[in-house]
Chains A and B, each alone.
Chain A
Amino acid sequence: MIEQFTHFFSILINLISSPTNIIILFVASFLGIIFGAMPGLTATLGVALLTALTYSLGADTALLGLLGMYVGAIYGGSYPAILINIPGTPAAAATAMDGYPLTQKGLAGKALGLTTTASFIGTIIGLLFLVTLSPLIASLALQFTSWEFFLLALLGIILSGSLTSPDLVVKGWIAGLIGLLLATIGRDALQFFPRYTFDVPELDSGLEIVPVLIGAFGIPQVIRALTNTHHVKPPIFTGSILPELKSITRNIKHIFRSATIGVGVGAVPGVGEDIAGWVSYSTAKKTSSKAQQAEFGKGSETAIVSSETANNACVGGALIPLLTLGIPGSPPAAMLLGALLLHGITPGPSIEIDHPNFLLEVTAIMVLASFAMWANGLLLAKQVIKVLQLPTALFIPVVGVLCILGAYALNLNMFSLYLMIPIGIVAFLLGEMKFPISPMVIGLVLGGMADESLRRALLLSEGSFMPIFERPVALLLVLVMTVFILAQFSWFKRLFSFEGKK
């Protein structure tokens, strides 16, 4: 344990001893806050674009920038939520409920101070869960066979499809299955047989994850942000932002509960920070005293602290399945997975064997990222607000150009650009028809693993499905999946409500 601590601090010192690293960390964190704060830009898009820029850097420096951007963007969404009642990212939607009423009372500085410190604490608690749970999950996952990996991928799609669908649940499943099907394009890993390549040599190696993700998240954002008819007034803020430590101490129990909720929600594949924020907000309301409950929606500090702690704790939660199982917990984590693969790091149960001390390195980077976010939040808030004055219609075309450059820069292939546009248009149309995009992306990321695992498992069992029923974890996964699927049918719901009434 002491050795681990010593090693952690040596990594930390090593990282901060390089001035380049410090500059990259603070700039990425500041850019992240801007990406989060600008309505129309998202954390996923920020991580995607930065992936292209950090491609030529070393893995730890690139990760420093990417995690700085991710943590900053999740926090940054709270700025417009508090100042103009428009959440910069879906993750900050719950914050707007009580942040904006505080601004109307002339307490914007207090609200921003609360979100800054709550986000910092949330990230740190999420990180503690990451560092304690990851080695346990990774060592457990080392016992997993191909069956468990196949079922985990399938469960990821079903959970993410069920929980992120804004309309019917079946739409989420369709999106996830489309993602899995997209992952089968290219030569298959076992027999090298070309599948759906239509004699296009560029498709032989399958769809490149990063251009597809930039297309799926960037292009719809560009189209929607430019045609958004909602007039956004520029935010105005005078005053100062303080850490609000007294308020934080008053809400300590809400902070710990919200952080746990954030980590739990973050660990569910494909379910993002927005759900963590809302779940935590409603739990905080339910568990508060009557007097506190009456304050919710009118500028309650408990509400702000709860939603902001949860959405930032979600970052750590999303990294747990990513690093230990190779399954991203949220859309930005899916993008992060793409970036790690580009740097030759394949997350999964054997990560500590392939890259010793990688988990400690991520932990150290997350500590630095949360500190950079906190410092930027307290010191540079006014600069962020100045950037927010920029009209959306002026910078979104430039973001469109950055998407093009980002998609091209990673493999210097025009085909990536040609692929990105139809994917972006399809993602936009799917979004308009209320199909969630996250399950599709998670499906694309997990498709290869699911395909290989299924066939490898059947190869070992000579075509028998019986091992599923002989392995407790596999059986548990099948049961959870079955319950989730059956729960969508009214007869199943009736059956259980009837049983309950009896």
Chain B
Amino acid sequence: MQNKTMDANKGRQYDFKFMLVLLCVLGGLLKITLSFPMSGSYGGVENQWYVSPALFPLVLLILLILCCLSLLVTAIKQGGAQEFLSISGWLGNKDNQQVRERWLIIALLIAYVYVYIPSTDFYLATGLFVSTLTSVFYLKLARAKSVVIVLNSMAVLGLILIRSSLNQDPSLSLLDINANDQSILWCDVFTTCVLASIISWQALMTNKLNRSQFGIQLIAVLIVPLLLIIAFSFLLFVPMPVEYGSVINVLNWLAYEQLGL
């Protein structure tokens, strides 16, 4: 019963913070919306308030602000304003293992989509992503979280460094896919090294008891991504997010030049 009350109290604290953030965002959106043409002429069309592109967003923003204020008041009434300034109140309890693991997965997803995929071969990027997750959650190796955080931070920094130093056009942002052959090659080499480090570390850390687990995990890390690429690229004819990289090039050479697909 006491736990339930504590959970409800914690929930209201999150509601209070989220409503404050949402109200700030809605305020910003309201400002933008008020700059939309309300009446007068736009694109050669004589505008009336009821056909204005601002009408529907304004209705929604007003309704949302009202709902948010109602939830904010409920949250304040139920003690939601407590721990407003504590960082753990915003990001979750840092001593809670589950909370830390969830932030780790979010960070990995961000690294995978925004850094690994646009920089390096899709197979290598996927292998790195999968092996990191299986080290922590499947093999559950000792000090796995610290090791994967260090290795992935190195990978992110290394790839950014390689791309920014070899990129001929500095105006290109990191989110644009890698267009420089030399940069792609070096990114592939670097990612292979990080992936190899993770797998070697896994091999060193697994004892005789979980050797079979390590073997199964290797299938998920090395074979499954390869099968996915083959299925998508050559059977369903759906290209990968990036169509460059050493492994993809070898597969293309095999499929198109050797097998004549």
Residues of A within 8 A of B (CB): 52-53, 55-56, 167-168, 170-171, 173-174, 177-178, 180-181, 184, 188, 190-193, 195-196, 219, 222-223, 226-227, 229, 391, 393-398, 400-402, 404-405, 408-409, 412, 414, 417-418, 420-421, 424-425, 428, 432-434, 450-451, 454-455, 458-459, 462-463
Contacts and interface: CB of A to CB of B under 8 A. Distances in A.
Nearest to A177: B64
Nearest to B68: A174
Nearest to A229: B98
A34 to B, nearest CB: 16
A223 B118 CA distance: 22
9 contacts: A56-B238, A170-B70, A174-B22, A222-B109, A227-B137, A401-B130, A418-B113, A454-B55, A463-B49
Given A400-B109, A400-B129, A178 B14 contact: no
A196 B32 contact: yes
Of all A-B residue pairs in the complex, the 6 with the closest CB atoms, nearest first, are: A458-B50, A393-B137, A393-B138, A397-B133, A193-B53, A451-B56
Interface stretch (B35-43, B183-191, B198-206): B35-43
Interface string B39-72: 0001101011111110111011101100110110
Nearest to B176: A414
Contacts of A418: 113-114, 175
A412 B33 CA distance: 31
- B contact residues, range: 35 or more
Nearest to A167: B11
Contact of A398 (B137, B224, B239): B224
B83 interface: no
Given A177-B63, A191-B53, A393-B137, A226 B101 contact: yes
Given A177-B64, A454-B56, A459 B228 contact: no
Contacts, number: 171
Nearest to A188: B53
B101 A398 contact: no
Max chain A Cβ within 10 angstroms of own Cβ: one of B45, B47, B102, B175: B102
Given A405-B232, A459-B50, A433 B113 contact: no
Given A177-B63, A398-B220, A191 B43 contact: yes
A394 B45 CA distance: 58
A178 B56 contact: no
Given A174-B22, A181-B61, A223-B102, 17 more contacts: A170-B71, A174-B71, A177-B60, A177-B64, A191-B43, A192-B43, A223-B105, A397-B129, A398-B224, A401-B225, A401-B228, A405-B238, A409-B232, A409-B238, A428-B106, A433-B11, A462-B48
Contacts of A171: 15, 71
B140 to A, nearest CB: 8
B45 to A, nearest CB: 6
Contacts of B236: 53, 56, 409
B195 to A, nearest CB: 14
B44 to A, nearest CB: 10
A408 B239 CA distance: 9
B196 to A, nearest CB: 18
B27 interface: no
Contact of B137 (A170, A174, A226, A450): A226
Given A391-B138, A397-B129, A417 B50 contact: no
B82 to A, nearest CB: 16
A170 B51 contact: no
A191 B216 contact: no
A56 B240 CA distance: 15
A227 B113 contact: no
Nearest to B216: A394
Given A180-B60, A195-B57, A417 B117 contact: yes
Contacts of A454: 55-56, 59
B101 A227 contact: yes
Contacts of A398: 130, 220, 224, 228
Contact of B51 (A178, A191, A192): A191
B9 to A, nearest CB: 13
Contact of B55 (A433, A434, A455): A455
Nearest to A57: B236
B228 A191 contact: no
B109 A424 contact: yes
B177 interface: yes
Contacts of A181: 29, 57, 60-61, 64
Given A178-B64, A226-B133, A414 B241 contact: yes
B180 interface: no
A167 B239 CA distance: 42
Contacts of A229: 98
Max chain A Cβ within 10 angstroms of own Cβ: one of B11, B22, B56: B56
B72 to A, nearest CB: 10
A33 to B, nearest CB: 21
A77 to B, nearest CB: 23
Contacts of B237: 56
A424 B105 CA distance: 12
A227 B98 contact: yes
B74 interface: yes
Contacts of B22: 174
Contacts of A412: 238-239
B126 interface: yes
B222 to A, nearest CB: 12
A155 to B, nearest CB: 14
Interface string B70-93: 110010000000000000000000
B50 A455 contact: yes
Contacts of B224: 398
A192 B74 CA distance: 40
